[in-house]
Structure 1
Amino acid sequence: MTTFIFDVLKDLQNSNINLSNLTFVLPSKRAGLFLKHQIHKVSNQTIFSPQIISIEEFVETLSQLKTVSNTELLFEFYSSYNQITNKEHLDSFESFSKWAQILIQDFNEIDRYLIPQKKVFNYLSDIQELNHWSLEKDKTDFVKNYLSFWSKLYNYYTCFTEQLLNKGIGYQGLIYREAVKNLEPYIQSNTSKQHVFLGFNALNTAEETIIQELLQNDLAKIYWDIDIVFMNNPKHDAALFTRQHKTSWKYFKKNPFNWITNNYLKEKNISIYGVPKSIGQSKYIGTLLSDLSKQNQSLQNTAVVLGDENLLIPVLNSLPESIEALNITMGFPLKSIPLASLFETLFNLHKKSSKSFYYKDIINIISHQFIRPLLYFQDIDYASKIIETIEANNIIYLTPNRLKQIAIKTESIIDILFTNWEISVDTVLKNCSQLILTIKNNLTENKASNQLSLEYLFRFNELFNELSRLNSEYNHIKDIPTLFGVYKELLSTETLDFQGEPLQGLQIMGMLESRVLDFETVIISSVNEGILPSGKSNNSFIPFDVKLENKLPTYKEKDAVYTYHFYRLLQRAKNVYILYNTEVDVLTGGEKSRFITQLQLEKKHKINHKVIAPYVPLISLQLSIVNKTPELLNKIIEVAKKGFSPSSLTNYIRNPIDFYYQKILKIKQFNDAEETVAANTLGTVVHNTLEDLYKPFIGEFLTVEKIKSLKLKTSENVSYHFKNEYKEGDVTKGKNLIIFEIAKRYVSNFLDLEIQDLKAGNQIKIIAIEAENNVQIDIPELNFPVNLTGKVDRIDEYNGTTRIIDYKTGIVNQSSVEIINWEDITTDYNKYSKSFQVLTYALMMHQSKQIKLPAEAGIISFKNLSNGFLKFSKKDKAGAYAKKDSLITEDVLNKFNDQLKQLILEICSIDIPFTEKEI
């Protein structure tokens, strides 16, 4: 395959032109590298390399101005804006940056296309005058300020550009305009210098003027790269600009138009693949490259062109191991580096001046991969210590001093992260630089394994140095939100560049990097509407009709640029793989690009079109099964000796695998800090409060006066237990205050229920409060002791009948403590767990001889207090008219004991594994 660059060099050689004396001007630096590599193929002798530059470098030379970053332009613009704007109407730098970026882009377009500035800006001002009722006598201040802004656009432009010119710097458009002004002196002083322009397509007015002047003065040659198929089709946008140049440039009326080629119609293998999602495309690119390698196809002349450059990392992670040589044109965005998330979290934390910080923000920072090692001192992980202290004490907001008290040996890093950020922007920047230096010192201890991380730090150090320079030179950044905005602006433009051999192996690039280059095999990703082409976007103050009148580019011209690049990639390629996203997406909508539809409708090539679905293996649900070994059985015996609690047994009924994790492996449920009081904390507070209130009356009959005296102590006791259980959590506001009041209401309502019972003539005697039990039950089939353990909330006598009461702060209905068949009590957790629990309490109390039968056992639900004591009942059948028996007798406990023994035998049997239930 011959490339466009080779054809140009060959033509120049055939014209007996000395290549060493030429200045090649190309659309990009990368194209220049490929051109330099091809020179030896056409030269028969050793020669000096010609000058090879990009169009931007050439124009900079002409203008004698230096290009500066968008961020620095913003600072310069704000300086000029300050000079010509009254202080009362002056926007802050943060507000200014939101509209100034768009205005700078418009300045750029106007200058690149050599539009008379005053004419355009006055026209825009006149439009706004008409739109906002300029003839109205009583304009509001808002309308006056709005119209004043539009009337000042030309003044903004004039002051801004004069300031830039005085400093010898400029944005691209200004550099182009100045280059055109300096063109005549350049031509006069370089009468023998020959320029070769190649590979250009869409040219702005300044570029057209420069190239045409050089052509007219016989100081240049220009080579276009367009196929005859596109040139002969007046509706094909791939040749939109080239047709305009051919017909409108005077030079081509007398000189040949080089070149219109005939490569597109040559035989090609074009495959179009619809692949779900962006990651799916990345994975399939890896599959395609793997297949090419297996077919012994060299990847030396293969390019992966990413329509969406965000796919770079997924594509790199999907490359087959067989690829040895690789060159990446694009840089890795700094905003995607882990260090970026650290500084974003820090800036967000300190945007508002505060003396204390939210615990989740603190945990995010101290858990970061670059920060955690800094909090490790003398074998103590202070990051873990901070997290554990937060969780144990329910600390929602922490001060830097509290952090220092917890992590006592790491005060310096705590200071950098959490103190002095409110003093000044300079201090913030010093903190960031100091943090980078501290991380660097830690990483250099193991430099070999931290090279990439050190490279990250180096780039971020450069970024913060640039921020410090801009702030010291212009002094526009007054607060952290503004600094954060500028930081994000800089971050979005900075990349971590890859190093590699640019002319070897597989090439991975963006669409614009493919200019002038030709490859035998091309893989193009993300060929969707909204990406290729990018579609309609109007990020400009200049209306569409004004752009049309002044021949400024609109979305149609921008789409034509993408059309040219897409089809130029196809011109000389033999194997083309086009991938698009089939799935509906927020931005692209899942619609394949018009380029694909156009290829299919042209019918100039045989196209293989497939929709690729990822292979999804059928994975049957595999429930966890843990077989019991002798070692595991020994652990079960230990638990049995210590005692099975009713909750652990019901946990086994619910799911045996949970019992295994919690009781055998001792895996505790993760407890985060309770930002809002948890249900179990509320339950504990209510239980403990009632325990404190009723313990003095053990062995006594209750009276209305006694209960009324308890009501006076309710608030104090609830407060005490909240402080004891919820630690440093705040219950004075928000949801927690509501939960605090609910706890008091629960206790107060319960006491009211007791008063009603007593006033109704019922006698209540307190037998025990929070009675602890640990009793051994006889299971002859087992050769080791089995104990039951548990704490009963309350035992009392109600009109002579013993009651075993369990408190529940959640909702419980009467049906939850009723059973029909004894066999069901150990099988259905949802229906019978409450019955199982109260019967276990009754069995323990009876065996320990703390109660006499018959008795009653049940639940008091604080969310269902109106129904009072919900008694366990045995029903003879289902239905509303079933006979119920609420008394717990020897017979009831014997039947329950039989089911309980069967359950414990199952737990302790080595032949029955712990099997997960499908919930």
Structure 2
Amino acid sequence: MKYSFLYRIAAELIKDAKDLKDHVVVFPGKRPQIFFKKALEDLGYSGFLPRMKTIEELTEEISGATCIQGLALTLEAYRFHTQLYPMEFSEFLKWFPALAKDWDEILKFAPEPLAVLDYMQEEERILQWAKSLGQDELGEVSQRFLDFWKKNGEYLPQLDRHLEQQGLASPGMVHLMALKNVGQYIAASKERFVFCGLNALTRLEEKLIRELLALDKAQCYFHSDSYYMDNSVQEAGAFLRRHRQWKEFNDFRQFQWVDQDFMQSKYIALYEVPGNVTQTKLLSSILQQIKPEELEDTAVVLLDENLLPSVISELSFVEHLNITMGYPIKNMAFSQGIRALLHLHKQLEIRSGSYYYKDLVNILTAIPAAVTDNEIIATFQKELVEKNRVYLSYKMLKELLGDLSYFSILEKCSSPMELLEKLLAFTTDLKTFKLSDLQYENISHFEKQLRILSNQLADFDFVHSVDVLEILINQLVQTQTIDFVGEPLKGLQVMGLLETRLLTFKNVVLLSVNEGKLPGSGGNSYIPFNVRASHQMHTYLESDSIYAYHFYRLIQQAEKVYLLYNSLTSGINSGEKSRFITQLQMESPHKVHHFVVDTSATATETSEMSVSKTPALLERLERWKSRVAASHLNSYLYNPMDFYLKNILYSQNEEIEEELSSRNYGNLIHFSLEYLYEPLVEKYLTTKDLEGLLGQTEAALAHAMERLKHDPAYYAVGMNYIHKQMALSVLERIIKKDTQSVEEGSSLRILAVEKRFSGVPLEIPGHGSVELRGIIDRMDEFDGQVRLIDYKSSLNSQELSFGLKSFQEGLSYKHSKGLQLAFYLYALGQDAEYSGRAFSAGIWSFAKVGEGVQPLQMKDYTLEDLLEGIKGVIAEILDPDVPFTRTQKVIY
């Protein structure tokens, strides 16, 4: 069935001629040629094959010109533009590609191309436009628009003459030149032309076909259906209805063919699917319902090329799979690595030798590496984490990555052209590495495109920034794909919409049938709708008609049609189904079976995540009993699951902090205070001692940074600089508060700073003994009483107040600071050195330094009562019948 249209053409040709060697068969694209050959073979044809061409190839043959397009055209156009209007290449790139596309369309479709340029720069028309915007004269925007078209009204025709003098032609010029040569070409040709399945035609294509028909030198076969041909408002037949009116079609030469297939019985299913991944999952389910022998006559049509990788992974069960679409290299890992590399060099132009760690990591993780490189990269990443390297100097980078095989591409280049040559050499060298097939193809495509770019830029000297080089590389790579090697005449076909032209299938599955994908968006243009319409150029209406024809032609002979669209509205996706789906639902005679795919699965009650205490977990908890810390208990009260994950299952991974975390902000001050006060331990402080500390705060911070393994440059700018200044202020205010106490007559002696304890036993009823450990930030003797002080970034005084109400409500995370002080008081009480002494405990908040130490207050309860609360927390952690959950705990 898939070859029916092409089989009919082949049968017609064989019936009229025994040998087709003097025929030229013209198709809209290359793909149908394979199936046409197969049709001839199946029909028993044994003569010479006809010449087969696409309509674009025939156009170029008639023109006799060498077509120049893409980057080559852009470079030549810029060189010529600078002779008329000097401009930076980066500015030129912003508007020329869209203008060149518009000019090509003008040359292809407008009967008088220069009239369009004249119309675009009519000052009176633009003035009327300005007045419609409420302006009595040309404003800035309208004046710029006028200047743009006045310059380009001169530039574009002159550019065409310049190209013609060199024997070159843009795609639009090729059509114009072919239009001039078509009469001479037809007269000289001795071949018979067969036009197959064309739809929308340019002026040249229409003139060529009609003149050949009039001279009986051609046959023309259209693939259409009465459903949209006989309905004047159905856009799918808009172009073919016009062609049917040609005078060349009459009783002797009829318009062929208008079939009656669309009205035949069909099963059409519409699936409203949340997300692209879900579409590919559903595709697998649909295909598994189709009989294996029918997969030969089934097409999967992707309207979004980005779905291809997911579709391939879901179709592993299909024995024979032919992929017509290419795999876009822009989405592959190595391509992302090149983008990251170009971004790095753009940043080097700005930062002059300073490297941002994420830029480097993005490159190192995306680019294939040798075994020795992997070792260097692993060491480098470890260094980043351990020393919290956010920005690296070139010297530091050289020390850490200097032995990398491709280190040279990370170094700042003297010019974009030097970078291009380095990239070219780099891709060439990479091909000697051990690579997967996809990696090798990806790198080979990049090498080829970079070589093309290098050759094309050899005669030019206007790429002065990496930004411009990036745009040029993207232009070359954007449309590049890796083609799959397959058997196009066998198995399930995966293709794009244009690849389906002239082919028919029994089963058709279309994915991403969304507005914006079908019909597709028209792209950028400088020519307004009314100008296009008045000069016979294509507007969005004609574009919609082309898409409609492809869609209806594809499904007109199908027996089963599955339409899937993405219903999500996230990102750039509107979640809107294609208008063609609505047409099918409202206008077609077929019932459209509508299914809504729901992946939420909210019918059953969800249960919170919990982890039961298995024998293996209880064994881990048994080991934890030897290292119980106050922070562990606080973590458990806040979120038992976090406690389990961080303290039992695995230790917390270190991460690079671009901005200083609250934990490390506290450490910065803790380590600084330890540095300042440790030399004064066991000494009664004087104002002189404390005034001396004020001059050491910068040195103390430097020491703290070193202990944290933070580069000083980390604190040089931005929020981290502010954090550093805040820390300096906290240090000074703590010292000044101590100074004030001494000046007011209090005695102050530092007993210890960052005092560590471990192995302190605590009996837990039913669970045996545990061992406590921890660090007391500061111990001092204030007016004869020993104070135990814990530093905190912030404090609510109610967190330190324990009365009857606290215990009636139960102990929770809001009591964590007070419980931590009780934890320390108990541990210190077990120390023989302090046995029998009176203690007080309190929190010194960095946010409220001036208020001094806020004491732990036990109104109706004692330390022993709080200790019972601590035992209760530990007992619950060890209880084999209480699972770890995400619910905050309250211990009674």
TM-score (norm 2): 0.91
Query: How far has the Cα of 1:855 moved from its partner?
Result: 2.7
- Quickly say closer, same or farther: Cα 1:252–1:173, change in 2 above 3 A: farther
| 1:769 maps to 2:753 | yes
Match among 353, 362, 365 for residue 367 of structure 1 = 365
CA distance, structure 1, for counterparts of residue 141 and residue 224 of structure 2: 52
Match among 424, 431, 453 for residue 467 of structure 1 = 453
Q: Deviations over 1:171-204 (max 9, x none)?
A: 32221221122222222222x4211112111111
Match among 214, 224, 230 for residue 226 of structure 1 = 224
Aligned to 1:61: 61
Query: How far has the Cα of 1:220 moved from its partner?
Result: 0.6
CA distance, structure 2, for counterparts of residue 638 and residue 314 of structure 1: 45
Any unmatched runs of 5+ in structure 2? Answer: none
- Quickly say closer, same or farther: Cα 1:674–1:49, change in 2 above 3 A: same
TM-score (norm 1): 0.88
Q: Deviations over 1:385-407 (max 9, x none)?
A: 11122222233222343233224
CA distance, structure 2, for counterparts of residue 780 and residue 534 of structure 1: 70
Secondary structure of the corresponding residue to residue 152 of structure 1: helix
8 Å Cα contact 2:624-2:648 kept in structure 1: yes
| 1:915 maps to 2:858 | no
Aligned to 2:829: 846
8 Å Cα contact 1:216-1:251 kept in structure 2: no
Matches within 5 A, 1:49-448: 49-85=49-85, 90-113=86-109, 115-127=111-123, 130-131=126-127, 147-190=146-189, 192-252=190-250, 255-293=253-291, 296-319=292-315, 321=317, 323-351=318-346, 352-353=348-349, 354-371=352-369, 373=371, 375-376=373-374, 381-407=375-401, 409-410=403-404, 412-415=405-408, 417-419=409-411, 421-443=412-434
- Quickly say closer, same or farther: Cα 1:68–1:290, change in 2 above 3 A: farther
Aligned to 1:10: 11
CA distance, structure 2, for counterparts of residue 655 and residue 130 of structure 1: 67
Aligned to 1:669: 652
Structure 1: which amino acid aligns with 2:220? I
CA distance, structure 1, for counterparts of residue 354 and residue 31 of structure 2: 51
CA distance, structure 2, for counterparts of residue 187 and residue 248 of structure 1: 19
8 Å Cα contact 1:103-1:540 kept in structure 2: yes
8 Å Cα contact 1:106-1:541 kept in structure 2: yes
Secondary structure of the corresponding residue to residue 757 of structure 2: strand
8 Å Cα contact 2:508-2:561 kept in structure 1: yes
Q: Deviations over 1:145-166 (max 9, x none)?
A: 7644422324322332233334
Secondary structure of the corresponding residue to residue 442 of structure 1: coil
- Quickly say closer, same or farther: Cα 1:298–1:740, change in 2 above 3 A: same
Secondary structure of the corresponding residue to residue 594 of structure 2: strand
Secondary structure of the corresponding residue to residue 771 of structure 1: strand
Secondary structure of the corresponding residue to residue 787 of structure 2: strand
CA distance, structure 1, for counterparts of residue 130 and residue 236 of structure 2: 45
Structure 1: which amino acid aligns with 2:422? N
Query: How far has the Cα of 1:562 moved from its partner?
Result: 1.0
Aligned residues: 877
| 1:36 maps to 2:30 | no
8 Å Cα contact 2:65-2:167 kept in structure 1: yes
Query: How far has the Cα of 1:717 moved from its partner?
Result: 2.8
8 Å Cα contact 2:764-2:875 kept in structure 1: no
CA distance, structure 2, for counterparts of residue 304 and residue 908 of structure 1: 57
- Quickly say closer, same or farther: Cα 1:34–1:570, change in 2 above 3 A: same
- Quickly say closer, same or farther: Cα 1:435–1:400, change in 2 above 3 A: farther
- Quickly say closer, same or farther: Cα 1:272–1:204, change in 2 above 3 A: same
- Quickly say closer, same or farther: Cα 1:139–1:780, change in 2 above 3 A: closer
8 Å Cα contact 1:530-1:587 kept in structure 2: no
Aligned to 1:620: 607
CA distance, structure 2, for counterparts of residue 664 and residue 588 of structure 1: 43
Aligned to 1:543: 528
Query: How far has the Cα of 1:745 moved from its partner?
Result: 1.5
Aligned to 2:674: 691
Determine what percentage of the aligned residue pairs are the same residue. 30
Q: Deviations over 1:195-230 (max 9, x none)?
A: 111211111111101111111121111112222232
- Quickly say closer, same or farther: Cα 1:368–1:841, change in 2 above 3 A: same
Structure 2: which amino acid aligns with 1:491? V
Q: Deviations over 1:861-885 (max 9, x none)?
A: 1213344322212233xxxxxxxx7
Query: How far has the Cα of 1:842 moved from its partner?
Result: 1.4
Query: How far has the Cα of 1:780 moved from its partner?
Result: 9.3
Q: Deviations over 1:855-909 (max 9, x none)?
A: 3211111213344322212233xxxxxxxx7xxxxxx344444555565566667
Secondary structure of the corresponding residue to residue 856 of structure 1: strand
CA distance, structure 2, for counterparts of residue 281 and residue 914 of structure 1: 38
Aligned to 1:577: 562
| 1:830 maps to 2:834 | no
CA distance, structure 2, for counterparts of residue 302 and residue 697 of structure 1: 85
Matches within 5 A, 1:497-896: 497-534=483-520, 537=522, 539-587=524-572, 589-614=574-599, 616=601, 620-629=607-616, 633=619, 640=625, 643-654=627-638, 658=642, 662=646, 667-730=650-713, 731-774=715-758, 776-777=760-761, 779=763, 786-808=770-792, 810-820=793-803, 828-851=811-834, 852-876=836-860, 892-896=862-866
8 Å Cα contact 2:694-2:735 kept in structure 1: yes
8 Å Cα contact 1:267-1:574 kept in structure 2: yes
CA distance, structure 2, for counterparts of residue 225 and residue 596 of structure 1: 21
Mean Cα deviation higher: 283-292 or 362-371: 362-371
8 Å Cα contact 2:786-2:839 kept in structure 1: yes
Q: Deviations over 1:773-829 (max 9, x none)?
A: 346436497998754333322233334333222122x11122112223699699745
Query: How far has the Cα of 1:637 moved from its partner?
Result: 6.1
8 Å Cα contact 1:859-1:871 kept in structure 2: yes
- Quickly say closer, same or farther: Cα 1:127–1:301, change in 2 above 3 A: farther
CA distance, structure 2, for counterparts of residue 608 and residue 466 of structure 1: 51
Matches within 5 A, 1:478-489: 478-489=464-475
CA distance, structure 1, for counterparts of residue 277 and residue 754 of structure 2: 58
Query: How far has the Cα of 1:73 moved from its partner?
Result: 1.5
Query: How far has the Cα of 1:254 moved from its partner?
Result: 6.4
Query: How far has the Cα of 1:288 moved from its partner?
Result: 1.0
Q: Deviations over 1:535-581 (max 9, x none)?
A: 5x462222222212211111111111111111111222122222223
8 Å Cα contact 1:803-1:855 kept in structure 2: yes
Structure 1: which amino acid aligns with 2:816? S
Secondary structure of the corresponding residue to residue 340 of structure 1: helix
Mean Cα deviation higher: 15-24 or 198-207: 15-24
Mean Cα deviation higher: 252-261 or 854-863: 252-261
Any unmatched runs of 5+ in structure 1? Answer: 877-884, 886-891
Structure 1: which amino acid aligns with 2:55? I
Secondary structure of the corresponding residue to residue 441 of structure 1: coil
Structure 2: which amino acid aligns with 1:713? Q
Aligned to 2:20: 19
CA distance, structure 2, for counterparts of residue 382 and residue 203 of structure 1: 59
- Quickly say closer, same or farther: Cα 1:316–1:67, change in 2 above 3 A: farther
8 Å Cα contact 1:826-1:899 kept in structure 2: no
- Quickly say closer, same or farther: Cα 1:844–1:462, change in 2 above 3 A: same
Instruction: Indicate the RMSD between aligned Cα atoms, in angstroms.
Output: 3.3
Q: Deviations over 1:703-759 (max 9, x none)?
A: 445434433433443344334435313223322222122112112222333344445
8 Å Cα contact 1:681-1:726 kept in structure 2: no
Match among 418, 440, 444 for residue 458 of structure 1 = 444
CA distance, structure 2, for counterparts of residue 11 and residue 248 of structure 1: 22
- Quickly say closer, same or farther: Cα 1:593–1:829, change in 2 above 3 A: same
Query: How far has the Cα of 1:613 moved from its partner?
Result: 2.3
Structure 1: which amino acid aligns with 2:38? H
CA distance, structure 2, for counterparts of residue 527 and residue 775 of structure 1: 67
